[in-house]
Amino acid sequence: MLIGLVGKPSVGKSTFFKAATLAEVEIASYPFTTIKANHGVGYVKVDCIDKEFNVQCNPNHGFCIDHKRFVPVELMDVAGLVPGASEGKGLGNQFLDDLRQADVFLHIVDVSGETDVEGKPTENYDVSKDVIFLEDELDKWFLGILMKVWKGFARKVEMEKSKFSEAVAKQFSGLKVDEEQVKIVLRKANLPERASTWNDEQIKEFASELRKQSKPMIIVVNKCDHPNAKKNMDKLEKDFPDKLIYPCSADSELALREAAKAELIDYIPGNGSFSIKGDLTEKQKIALENIQKKVLDVYGGTGVQEVLNLAVFELLKYIAIFPAGATKLADSKGRVLPDCFLLPGDSTALDFAYYLHTDFGKNFIKAIDARTKKILGKDYKLKHRDALEIVTR
Ligand SMILES: Nc1nc2c(ncn2[C@@H]2O[C@H](COP(=O)(O)OP(=O)(O)OP(=O)(O)O)[C@@H](O)[C@H]2O)c(=O)[nH]1
Ligand SMILES: [Mg+2]
């Protein structure tokens, strides 16, 4: 799974990325600080099941603090996008290509209203403009890819009587479009049956809907620590009542995670408070107090962890599954509940077996629920935080 961070320059994409991954990336107040895409590992937060079993887990990947399990997800931070990017403006559309493989987008916007459309300093900027231009650019990007092959493609599909959605998914697999998504778009968009008869407007609508379906998006309202945040956030919510909008202060999250890493504070990402444990300078103390007062007390958290969880569990509807022996929770090396995997929400016990290993899938006999010891068949529909043993021939 890949989460892509998008947005105009200087909104805090790299700050969000660094807060989530603690990777060393460049952050600065001038536009186009990021040129080459950054890849890193962030985490989603899951209530660990170790507590229920009265054990402490030892994760192979990620970590667990206070029975909160942090499961790795891949993150990508790209260069800032400006109007006309799909035609090569700004840093061009090369980095749009970096975003092809993303499953979900976090559109980072700067709620301070103090950066213009190109990320340069300004005042009273209308933040809603960013939502419109960015989605428009992404639509143009999809349309451009579609149009390169459209004429021949639409006719060929009709001639061969291929299933249209299957053919589109195959043609655009590089954009991670799947057949189900195309079907949903066709149901929603009310387009004529024969694709070769679609006019420009209809092709445009199809591209836009396909983009929305295959790259769902959260509008991450960053810099919510800023004095203008409330006013501009209210406007965004009024202008876009149907969009998923979430407040965030990437800068605050970064400060908290760095302080925790330096053992100055105890802080669990996503929590609404922290406790001081090291010797702080007066400056550090004031900075942390400000984060508590202006961000955590107001929003309940910095928003970084919440947004990652929203993307994976609400938008993409993934679930976390723990492989667990029905009689033994440790692996052969003695590691307790070493793994936690993220699977699509509609997965079955058999899908899980195949996910672990093809041989497990092929030789599947049954699954056992490690909590209840109940036997589950191959069609059992997995639930979030299930703990399962797969029994094979
Ligand atoms: N007040 C405040 N400032 C922030 C926050 N997040 C980032 N910033 C500041 O915004 C500026 C731009 O941050 P970057 O993370 O470099 O922005 P970017 O979107 O990656 O920018 P480009 O790489 O140029 O596209 C920096 O000065 C950050 O310190 C935040 O939550 N609050
Ligand atoms: Mg950047």
The average pLDDT across 74-97 equals 82
The average pLDDT across 33-42 equals 93
d(CA 10, ligand 1 centre) in Å: 5
Answer for the pair 76, 51: CB distance below 8 angstroms, yes or no.
no
* 107 within ligand 1 shell (Cβ under 6 A): no
d(CA 14, ligand 1 centre) in Å: 7
- Which atom of ligand 1 is found nearest the CA of 79? 25
Residues with Cβ within 8 Å of 236's Cβ and at least 6 positions away in sequence, in order, are: 109, 111, 127, 128, 131, 219, 221, 245
Identify the residue with better confidence: 308 or 100: 308
The average pLDDT across 354-381 equals 97
The average pLDDT across 225-236 equals 97
H/E segment holding residue 387: strand 386-392
Identify the residue with better confidence: 72 or 85: 72
User: Which ligand is nearest the CA of 11, by number?
Assistant: 1
pLDDT tens digits, residue range 294-343?
999 999 999 999 999 999 999 999 999 999 998 889 888 989 999 999 99
Residue 259 CA to residue 66 CA, distance in Å, equals 18
pLDDT at site 264: 96
* 225 within ligand 1 shell (Cβ under 6 A): yes
Residue 167 CA to residue 161 CA, distance in Å, equals 10
d(CA 100, ligand 2 centre) in Å: 18
User: The dihedral of CA 76, 177, 181, 188: what is its sign?
Assistant: positive
d(CA 186, ligand 2 centre) in Å: 36
Best mutation site among 6, 16, 27 for ligand 1 pocket (most ligand atoms within 8 Å of CB)? 27
Residues with Cβ within 8 Å of 198's Cβ and at least 6 positions away in sequence, in order, are: 154, 191, 192, 206
Q: What torsion, rounded to 10 degrees, do the Cα atoms 22, 24, 28, 32 define? A: -110
Please choose, from the candidates 216, 249, 341, the residue with its C-alpha nearest in 3D space to the C-alpha of residue 20. 249
* 226 within ligand 1 shell (Cβ under 6 A): yes
Residue 136 CA to residue 141 CA, distance in Å, equals 9
Terminal C-alpha separation, the chain: 31
The average pLDDT across 193-215 equals 92
d(CA 9, ligand 1 centre) in Å: 8
pLDDT at residue 149 tops 80 = yes
pLDDT at site 241: 97
pLDDT tens digits, residue range 340-359?
999 999 999 999 999 999 99
* 11 within ligand 1 shell (Cβ under 6 A): yes
Answer for the pair 343, 351: CB distance below 8 angstroms, yes or no.
yes
pLDDT at site 340: 97
Residue the block writes with tokens 């444990």: 277
Residue with CA at minimum distance from ligand 1 atom 1: 223
d(CA 134, ligand 2 centre) in Å: 16
- Which atom of ligand 1 is found nearest the CA of 30? 24
- Which atom of ligand 1 is found nearest the CA of 302? 31
Distance of CA 183 to the CA centre of its chain: 23
pLDDT at residue 277 tops 70 = yes
Please choose, from the candidates 342, 371, 358, 353, the residue with its C-alpha nearest in 3D space to the C-alpha of residue 104. 342
Residue the block writes with tokens 């970084």: 304
* 3-class secondary structure, 359: helix
The average pLDDT across 264-272 equals 97
Q: What mean pLDDT, rounded, does the chain reach?
A: 93
Residues with Cβ within 8 Å of 321's Cβ and at least 6 positions away in sequence, in order, are: 340, 341, 342, 343, 347, 352, 382, 385, 386, 387, 388
* 114 within ligand 1 shell (Cβ under 6 A): no
pLDDT cut 90: percent of the chain above it: 78
User: Which ligand is nearest the CA of 291, by number?
Assistant: 1
pLDDT at residue 138 tops 70 = yes
d(CA 15, ligand 2 centre) in Å: 7
pLDDT at residue 92 tops 70 = no
* 3-class secondary structure, 233: helix
User: Which ligand is nearest the CA of 106, by number?
Assistant: 1
pLDDT at residue 77 tops 70 = yes
Answer for the pair 167, 157: CB distance below 8 angstroms, yes or no.
yes
pLDDT at residue 107 tops 90 = yes
Residue 218 CA to residue 4 CA, distance in Å, equals 11
* 3-class secondary structure, 236: helix
pLDDT at residue 233 tops 80 = yes
Distance of CA 261 to the CA centre of its chain: 24
Best mutation site among 5, 15, 25, 127 for ligand 1 pocket (most ligand atoms within 8 Å of CB)? 15
pLDDT at site 156: 81
